[in-house]
Amino acid sequence: MIHEIRTYDLKPRSVPEFEKRAGEMIEGRVKYSPLGGFWSTEVGPLNQVVHIWPYEDLNARTDIRGKAVAAGAWPPNTSEFIVNMQSDIYLPAPFMTPLGDREIGPLYEMRIYTYAPGDIPKVIEAWGGAIEERQKYSPLAGAWYTEIGGLNKWVHLWAYKDFAERTKVRAETREKGVWPPPSGVSPVKQENKILTPMSFSPMQ
């Protein structure tokens, strides 16, 4: 299983119309393959949308995308709003819950860590031993490592009810030593963005 994470930078004030047009076509697109989730940024790089598509493998991705385009089911007519597009292929962590219909938000934090070469397996091992306890505080919506794109990246997506819960959970898990898990390695770069789901996203 692979997950394609597509990130689009949009022109200012164009996100609502982008959402409207994408929402009008999403029913036709998901007849070909399921949508993992679709969000827009609230904090961090503004006017950005992030959508995640699971596929069995790269061959399935190519086949499905080709069929959807040929049928006119996707993409929506939104090119006038798009400033930049980025696509990365990730592999889901072994402990990750499959994407799909989940009401665990509506506030999502995506954290993107870059590690030194060879460190990702250590991160996965450390997280695997600690994630069950961490999820007693708030759910992990997703965790991935890069397969194609910027390598040595570790992306994790957390769901919260609101900003107050995020602050409380992060403080409490640190105070109790629940999180972050000791892996013996540290990221060389950290980024984050706060996302809210679009109306048609299966993850809310």
Whole-number percent of the chain with pLDDT over 90? 98
Residue 77 forms part of a structural domain: yes
Q: What is the CATH number of the domain that holds 154?
A: 3.30.70.100
Residue 204 forms part of a structural domain: no
Calculate mean pLDDT across residues 29-33. Answer: 98
Residue 69 forms part of a structural domain: yes
The per-residue pLDDT for range 96-142, each reduced to its tens digit, is 999 989 999 999 999 999 999 999 999 999 999 999 999 999 999 99
**Is residue 192 predicted with pLDDT exceeding 90?**
yes
Model confidence at 160, pLDDT cuts 50, 70, 90, reads very high
Question: What is the domain count for the chain?
Answer: 1
Q: Whole-angstrom distance between the N-terminal and C-terminal Cα of the chain?
A: 23
Model confidence at 149, pLDDT cuts 50, 70, 90, reads confident
Contacting residues for 63 by C-beta, under 8 A, at least 6 apart: none
- Segments forming the whole domain that contains residue 59: 2-197
Model confidence at 88, pLDDT cuts 50, 70, 90, reads very high
Residue 203 forms part of a structural domain: no
Residue 130 forms part of a structural domain: yes
* Whole-model pTM over 0.85: yes
Residue 202 forms part of a structural domain: no
Mean per-residue pLDDT of the chain: 97
Calculate mean pLDDT across residues 186-204. Answer: 97
Of 164, 173, 172, 166, residue with least CA distance to 192:
166
Residue 7 forms part of a structural domain: yes
Rounded CA separation 201/198 (Å): 5
Rounded CA separation 13/31 (Å): 30
Calculate mean pLDDT across residues 176-197. Answer: 96
Q: What is the dihedral of CA 164, 170, 176, 180, to 10 degrees?
A: 170
pLDDT of residue 139: 98
Calculate mean pLDDT across residues 145-166. Answer: 96
Of 144, 141, 131, residue with least CA distance to 173:
131
